[in-house]
Copies of this chain bind each other. A is one copy, B any other.
Amino acid sequence: MIASFLARSTRSTTRVASTLSSPTSLLRFKSTGCYTKAKRIGFVGLGNMGLPMATNLFNGFKNEADFIIYDINQTTTSNFVKDHSAGNKDKVKVAKTPLEVAQEASVIVTMLPASPHVESVYFGKDGLLEALGPDHLVMDASTIDQSMATRVAKVLHGKGAKAIDAPVSGGTGGAQAGTLTFMVGSNTVADFELAKRYLDKMGKNIVHCGTNGNGQVAKICNNMLLGISMIATSETMNLGVRMGMDPKLLAGILNTSSGRCWSSEVYNPCPGVQENSAATRGYTGGFGMPLMAKDMRLAVNAAVETKSTVLLGALAQQLYNQMAANKDFEQLDFSAAYKWLSENAK
């Protein structure tokens, strides 16, 4: 399978054509008209994250594959076609349904907001599932709960398709720069390796986190720890400043001591401590409150389901929810927890 898949889509057509040593895949291509299909990559979900990811994927593969895209926002899809299809009408197709994507493309990436969207795109009427089969490699980059991710994988495996979960970190900046981290859950190393070829065009670190669903576990765990750490760093910086310390000096000390964390070192929430932080540019851009609130919710739900206790996690979830529900904060980066703390006591 792996051999045939590599033959099919990668180095690629050439090898298939020139090496008759892969009769099975040759047969398959013959019988299903797979040759055309192998040359088309599908992308479902061109939102803030999905659009730059799809663009990088397109740029990485445009010489060897055509594309088919689907999004409910037709302005987005027609703009994508306009930007990337010039002079070749067939280069990028716009599908009318997810099903059409699965009918045309053998390699598919989905990037959707939450579990209900994944449910609908995969299992709904005119969903991907109806056309998925042994020729497909499907990569879901959405951040969803583990149980949904394992269910997707199980159902797709049941159809013979290859399926991995591959949630990302790195935000819209990383999506644009192609430097995302992908946390991949895949039952087999082979599927992981197969997927990596595509993910490499959109990200810098492609990490195999274990079996299907574990990509979500890694993402959820990382973001819960990040979410707590950011509030903890905010409380600490605010406390230190109110006790009379210079924030840069305090950050410097924390960062060479046992209090240091990514939030204090790389993304300090106190304005002015770091030149390029979200905090210093008014908490614009970055990772928005609603996104962190959503990830914290996934974490707390997972904790309840696995009988894990997350006292700090549950409290942090509430705080992000509160900020995400406040019109002055919902548009801001999650590091505005510092702003929240320092302004509430005014």
Taking Cβ atoms with an 8 Å cutoff, the residues of A that contact B are: 146, 169, 181, 183, 205, 207, 209-211, 213-214, 217-218, 220-226, 228-229, 231-233, 235-240, 242-246, 249-250, 253-254, 256-264, 266-267, 293, 297, 299-300, 302-304, 306-319, 321-322, 324-327, 341, 344-346
Q: Which residues of B contact A222 (CB under 8 A)?
A: 236, 253-254, 257-259
- Pairs A-B, 9 closest by C-beta atoms: A261-B261, A225-B259, A325-B345, A307-B325, A222-B259, A242-B306, A228-B232, A314-B314, A225-B236
Bound CA–CA A258/B181 (angstroms): 10
Bound CA–CA A158/B72 (angstroms): 29
Whether A229 and B232, one on each chain, are in contact in the complex, defined by CB atoms closer than 8 angstroms, is: yes
In this complex, the member of A183, A221, A302 whose beta carbon has the largest number of chain B beta carbons within 10 angstroms is A221
What secondary structure prevails in chain A residues at the interface with B? helix
Using known A-B contacts A236-B225, A240-B217, determine if residue A312 contacts B316 with beta carbons closer than 8 Å: yes
Whether A262 and B267, one on each chain, are in contact in the complex, defined by CB atoms closer than 8 angstroms, is: no
Whether B318 and A239, one on each chain, are in contact in the complex, defined by CB atoms closer than 8 angstroms, is: no
Q: Which residues of B contact A267 (CB under 8 A)?
A: 258
Whether B322 and A245, one on each chain, are in contact in the complex, defined by CB atoms closer than 8 angstroms, is: no
Q: Which residues of B contact A318 (CB under 8 A)?
A: 303, 309-311, 314
Q: Which residues of B contact A299 (CB under 8 A)?
A: 239
Whether A256 and B205, one on each chain, are in contact in the complex, defined by CB atoms closer than 8 angstroms, is: yes
Task: Specify which of B209, B213, B245 is in contact with A214 (CB 8 Å cutoff).
Answer: B245
Nearest-Cβ distance from residue A212 to partner chain B, whole angstroms: 11
Task: Specify which of B242, B258, B264, B293 is in contact with A308 (CB 8 Å cutoff).
Answer: B242
Whether B322 and A309, one on each chain, are in contact in the complex, defined by CB atoms closer than 8 angstroms, is: yes
Q: Which residues of B contact A237 (CB under 8 A)?
A: 221
Whether A315 and B312, one on each chain, are in contact in the complex, defined by CB atoms closer than 8 angstroms, is: yes
Given A235-B311, A326-B346, 5 extra CB contacts under 8 A: A181-B256, A209-B249, A232-B313, A236-B313, A322-B345
Whether A235 and B304, one on each chain, are in contact in the complex, defined by CB atoms closer than 8 angstroms, is: no
Q: Which residues of B contact A253 (CB under 8 A)?
A: 183, 207, 209, 218, 221-222
Whether B345 and A310, one on each chain, are in contact in the complex, defined by CB atoms closer than 8 angstroms, is: no
Whether A345 and B250, one on each chain, are in contact in the complex, defined by CB atoms closer than 8 angstroms, is: no
